[in-house]
Amino acid sequence: MFTGIIAHIGTIESAEQPDTSKFQGDLRIKIASDMKAEMLQQGESISCNGACLTIINKGFLASGKSYFTASLSDETITRTVPGQWEKGRKVNLERSLKLGDTLDGHMVSGHVDGLGTVKAITQAGDSHVMEIEVPENLARFVAEKGSVTLDGISLTVNQVQGARLWVNIIPYTWKATTLSERQPGDRLNIEIDMIARYVARLLDKS
């Protein structure tokens, strides 16, 4: 479980197919960041651009930076933005929520529901406003002043019109995440608010 508050940005150092004689996932990635290796535990969950992955190994690069490795299944690769797991790509990182931690964003499971498309980015004072088009099947779960997770980032929905939503990105979030690198036409991993998901499920059964 996560909160959608990004603490670090990592860089994918390598992305390789593992030894097929052992079940290790469909893609093994190594991510470097300024997180201290001693903070990380093998087997713990970590959110990478909104996808919950499991840390398999950890260590230090020759540069002195820490790294961890994780395996991605075909399901994860299929459901996330194409090409985002390639060498050199940057990813938003968040360690899993621990009992007693503050919940500053909203409850995020790390399960990507679909992909959104950036339609426009405009300046609004010191902030930026992103217009995102979401898949039709997810649009009904998005509500004005509700929460949505984009590339692992917890954001408040300012406005909704059909299958489009608008979010305001404050300067801190703009600089502390990969959103500042996004351009119109780029795609983002989306996770809808889990409360909205369960409410819709209950209504479908009524």
Does any domain span residue 180?
A: yes
> Residue 23: what pLDDT?
52
CA dihedral 94, 100, 103, 106 (to 10 degrees): 70
Q: Are 176 and 124 members of one domain?
A: yes
> Residue 20: what pLDDT?
58
Q: Are 88 and 137 members of one domain?
A: no
> Which helix (DSSP H) or strand (DSSP E) does residue 147 occupy?
strand 147-150
**What is the spatial distance between Cα 67 and Cα 78, in angstroms, rounded to a whole number?**
24
Q: Are 72 and 134 members of one domain?
A: no
Q: Are 153 and 125 members of one domain?
A: yes
> Residue 25: what pLDDT?
57
Sign of CA dihedral 177, 182, 188, 190: positive
Q: Are 78 and 157 members of one domain?
A: no
Does any domain span residue 162?
A: yes
CATH of the domain at 176: 2.40.30.20
Q: What is the pLDDT along the chain (206 residues), one digit of tens a residue?
A: 899 999 999 999 999 986 655 555 589 999 999 998 888 999 999 999 999 999 999 999 988 889 999 999 989 999 999 999 999 999 999 999 877 777 788 889 999 999 999 999 999 999 999 999 999 999 999 999 999 999 999 999 999 999 999 999 999 999 999 999 999 999 999 999 988 877 877 777 65
**What is the spatial distance between Cα 49 and Cα 44, in angstroms, rounded to a whole number?**
16
Alpha helix stretches (DSSP H) within the chain: 74-79, 136-139, 171-176, 194-205
> Residue 21: what pLDDT?
54
Q: Are 88 and 14 members of one domain?
A: yes
Give residue 163's domain range. 114-205
> Residue 105: what pLDDT?
81
Structural domains counted in the chain: 2
